[in-house]
Amino acid sequence: MDTLRFTLRRIFRKPLRSLLTILQLTIGIWLVTTLFSVYLVGMSELAASAPTFGASYAQLRLIQVERQPNRTIYKPVATMTNRDLGALVDESEAIEAAFFYQPAFSALLYHVDRPYRVRTLARVSASFAEAVQLELVEGEFFTPLDEEQSSNVVLLSKTIADYLFPNQSALGKTVSMPKRTGAVEKFQVIGVYEGLASGAKGLLDETFVITPRVASSLGEGEYDLFIQANQDQLPAAISDARIVLSSHLQDGVEMQVTTLEEQLQRQAAQLNNLSAFLAIFAFIALLVSAIGVFCILLVSVLERTREIGLRMALGASRRSVVKDILGESLLYTVLGALLGIPVAASSFKPMGMPFITELLSLAQEGTWHFPWRAGFYALLLASAATLLISLYPAHKGSKIPPIEALREL
């Protein structure tokens, strides 16, 4: 308590200098807290997105491999059709369902004069709804005939339906989407859905609009196919899929298989790489803040040479001098944390969320909360850094000979 009172008196004697030091630490702790929050939220999202149900899905992709002297070229091969979907389910006891999924991004959807920028639009096969356990709020999913005829029907997420058609049912209404050619295509709403099965979100992008799939621009069929395996039979399902689709695996064509576990591992690696990159800037900011504290304490020790010498001449121990100087350093850090951590919490959504959203396709922004333990970790790290760098000024202060102070009296 005596150390605290002594340090507070020192701060109030030099308010401007103390304020600048605290602001330096505030910036450093803010950046470090933001880094920790991005990492903690990202890792918690990855852990929460791997339920047992998710182990039932796999993505199968056909690629043409061309090996050249200096590089290897991978080209997608679009040859799979609805016939392959039926064969997978009929010929394999391990495969529960199979479907196509074609994502398209950033589409403009509107009804009359109410536009809505859709983050992800998906063109899927008729087997999609059952395979991913689509939760329909109202209406129905499209049929294989709709898919065959490329009918202009659409299913909207509940969020979009409520926006475009407030206080009324969206069923039977018409929405429009512009094509790349500039023409406008109209679709009839036949269903409104709530969301996908939790396990499918790791492999599929979060979708807001669903329409029947159309022929791929790369060929008559598809190069991406998804299977849902029976419980604990995913390896057998993948093996069966290789056999059923063997007719496509010719002339250098290979099948790439991606499971939810592999997707999570890749995203975890991306998150770790991003965190390491951001850690460099956070470390520099924290180092600059700690150096600022070092300089202030060193100047303080030089200014207080006579005061410290008199204290030691009157019986103060070197340990108490070190304790006072380190206490001043720690108090600066705590005050910086009291400002920096709330700033990091308030800036978490605009600063942290974009990083996580870009990295994790399965992230659910509505469930995110600022992890206050990130502030605690940042405080510990900043305290360790400032205490470590303050050892020299503390040691220098404890070595002041009392005789120097007595000579100046």
Tell me which of 383 and 272 has the higher pLDDT.
383
| Extents of the domains making up the chain | 2-49+266-407, 55-255
Interacting residues of 317 by C-beta distance below 8 A, sequence separation 6+: none
- The helix (run of H) or strand (run of E) holding residue 115 is strand 114-124
Please check the confidence at residue 68 and state whether its pLDDT lies above 70: yes
Q: What's the pLDDT at 52?
A: 44
Please check the confidence at residue 8 and state whether its pLDDT lies above 80: no
Look over the chain and give the mean of its residue pLDDT values, rounded to a whole number. Answer: 80
Q: What's the pLDDT at 91?
A: 92
Q: What's the pLDDT at 184?
A: 85
pLDDT digits (tens, 9 = 90+) for 302-359: 777 777 777 777 777 778 778 878 888 888 888 888 998 998 888 877 766 666 655 5
Q: What's the pLDDT at 219?
A: 46
The pLDDT confidence band at residue 197, using thresholds 50, 70 and 90, is low
Please check the confidence at residue 40 and state whether its pLDDT lies above 90: no
The pLDDT confidence band at residue 392, using thresholds 50, 70 and 90, is confident
Apex CA 52: angle with CA 82 and CA 258, to 5°? 45
- In eight-state DSSP terms, residue 173 is -
Tell me which of 221 and 387 has the higher pLDDT.
387
Please check the confidence at residue 81 and state whether its pLDDT lies above 90: no
Tell me which of 312 and 115 has the higher pLDDT.
115
- The helix (run of H) or strand (run of E) holding residue 45 is helix 15-48
Q: What's the pLDDT at 407?
A: 62
The pLDDT confidence band at residue 404, using thresholds 50, 70 and 90, is low
Please check the confidence at residue 249 and state whether its pLDDT lies above 90: no
Burial class (CB in 10 A: 0-12, 13-18, 19+), 336: buried
Please check the confidence at residue 408 and state whether its pLDDT lies above 60: no
pLDDT winner (highest mean) among 172-181, 239-248, 272-281: 239-248
C-alpha to C-alpha distance for 24 and 345, rounded to whole angstroms: 18
The pLDDT confidence band at residue 139, using thresholds 50, 70 and 90, is very high
Q: What's the pLDDT at 367?
A: 52
Q: HEC states along 79-98?
A: CECHHHHHHHHHHCCCEEEE
Distance between the two ends of the chain, CA-based, in angstroms?
A: 30
The pLDDT confidence band at residue 92, using thresholds 50, 70 and 90, is very high
What whole-number percentage of the chain has pLDDT above 90? 13
